[in-house]
Amino acid sequence: MHIDIKEAKEKYGKSETTLRNIVREWRKGKHKGAIKLDNGRVLFKVSFLDDKFKAQNTNPKTNSVNLPSIDERTLAILEKQLDEKDKQIEKLQFLLAQSQENYNKLIQSPEPKKKRWFKIF
């Protein structure tokens, strides 16, 4: 799997300069951790960057260790949204069941007889 500089910057928390220095090393032939596409865009091998940066979820800019990755944060947000939707669905199912019960009661109950206000002789 390959990622570009922008994605590598987000994933590993390294500066763009650091990643561009790796590209310079790659051009000098020191390692084979990157490939260049026809359009000039450079892609890094994820396994190479994992080895180079020890694949830790560290962000040196905030000195935090084990920050959740973007994928984990996105997953947590999506799970929260799913829980909220599940609650809404449960409420709607309850309301639907109540309305069906009321409808069935109305159907089963006999119609009230119409009262005549006057008698025909």
Q: Is residue 90 part of a domain?
A: yes
Question: How many independent structural domains does the chain possess?
Answer: 2
The per-residue pLDDT for range 9-60, each reduced to its tens digit, is 777 777 778 777 777 776 666 666 666 666 666 676 777 777 777 655 444 4
Per DSSP bridges, beta strands 34-36 and 42-45 are antiparallel
Flag whether 119 is in a domain: no
Q: What phi, psi does 111 have (nearest 5°)?
A: -70, 140
Domain membership flag for residue 35: yes
| Residues 44 and 74 occupy one common structural domain | no
Q: Is residue 48 part of a domain?
A: yes
Residue 35: CATH number of its domain: 3.90.105
In a domain, 98, yes or no: yes
- Among 50, 43, 45, residue whose Cα is nearest residue 12: 50
**Cβ–Cβ < 8 Å for 14, 8:** yes
- Global pTM reads 0.35
- Give CA 101 to chain center in angstroms: 38
Tokens of 83: 């829980």
Question: Is residue 11 situated within a structural domain?
Answer: yes
Strand order in the sheet with 42-45: 2-4, 42-45, 34-36
- The residue range of the domain holding 29 is 2-52
